[in-house]
Copies of this chain bind each other. A is one copy, B any other.
Amino acid sequence: MEKETNKRQYLLADRKSHPQDSVIEIGGGDVESVKIGGGNFRIIAGPCSIESEEQIIETAKSVAASGAGLIRGGAYKPRTSPYTFQGLGKEGLDYLAKARSIVKKPVVSEILGTEHLSEYENVDMFQVGARNMQNYELLRALGRQKKPVLLKRGMSATLRELLLSAEYILSEGNPNVILCERGIRAFGHYTRNTLDLSAIPVLKEMTHLPVIVDPSHATGRAELVAPMALAAVAAGADGIMTEVHPDPAKALSDGMQALNLAEFAELAKQIEAIRPFAYRKK
């Protein structure tokens, strides 16, 4: 019976077993080492899909200059339809590695299955998408290595279910997990999903793991990314992940929700300005 129960069961993720905030380090070696959690706030930015070497390098340079601490870019894309662009795959990861070597920032990219693990050598953090939050074979495999994992909340996952999925990684020996709220499925039609910002303070009670927010997938509309990013920061998020494209109208996936380079630079400034006034538990 996997209905929501009162039993916590997320023993290692539980704040009770680890009262201090976890601080996760990403990168290091030939790129910068950045921290998320325990007061360390970072912006992760980049295109939904890596479309070409030029596109990812241009975007990476620009967002790094504007304040992004990590670069994102999708190579293997989980698409609802088999007939839409599925990403450049290994070729995309190679382009991302070039961008990484140029901007010297750690990079994050989604992984769809254990088949691909060996291709992620130059990726600093694995992303597990909402659709794979309960792909337990993948979670276990990511638990048996040490790179950080950015675990997105499933479309209709409760917070307990999210923490139990994190627990699959933690219990295999990898303590480096960052949680990401990206909107849940509710009855509304105006946004792609319903961003559940109360998940931030509630998760911070339940767990010591860092919590970041993805306002791009949550809303699906570029004009809503800034208000929701600022709201997430105000509520106490440890980071923001947002999609940025040099020319959103020409993006091969999710262009409607991407900021352009100037919009991202503006948002990064607004986030910087509001951060000192964000909620902090006493």
| Complex-state Cα separation, A78 to B223, whole angstroms | 35
| Contact code string A109-140 (vs B, CB < 8 Å = 1, else 0) | 00011110000000000000001101111100
One complex includes copies of this chain to the number of 4
User: Which residue on chain B has the smallest CB distance to residue A267?
Assistant: B279
**Is there contact, CB below 8 Å, between A131 and B137?**
no
Q: Is B190's CB under 8 angstroms from A198's CB? A: yes
Beta-carbon nearest neighbor of A257 in chain B: B1
Choose from B113, B202, B224, B254 the contact partner of A138 (Cβ within 8 Å).
B113
A29 within 8 A of B: no
Contact at A277–B279, with CB atoms within 8 Å?
no
CA distance A154 to B156 in the complex (A): 10
Q: Would A218 and B189 be within 8 Å (CB), given that A79-B2, A167-B82, A277-B274 are in contact?
A: no
CB contact under 8 A between A201 and B188, given known A112-B136, A115-B114, A270-B277 = no
Bound complex: CA of A94 vs CA of B266, how far in Å? 51
Is A168 part of the binding interface, using a Cβ–Cβ cutoff of 8 Å?
yes
Neighbouring B residues of A227 by C-beta, 8 Å: 198, 200-201, 234-236, 279
Q: Does A155 contact B (CB under 8 A)?
A: yes
Does A66 touch B at the CB level, under 8 Å?
no
User: Is residue A64 within 8 Å, beta carbon to beta carbon, of the partner chain?
Assistant: no
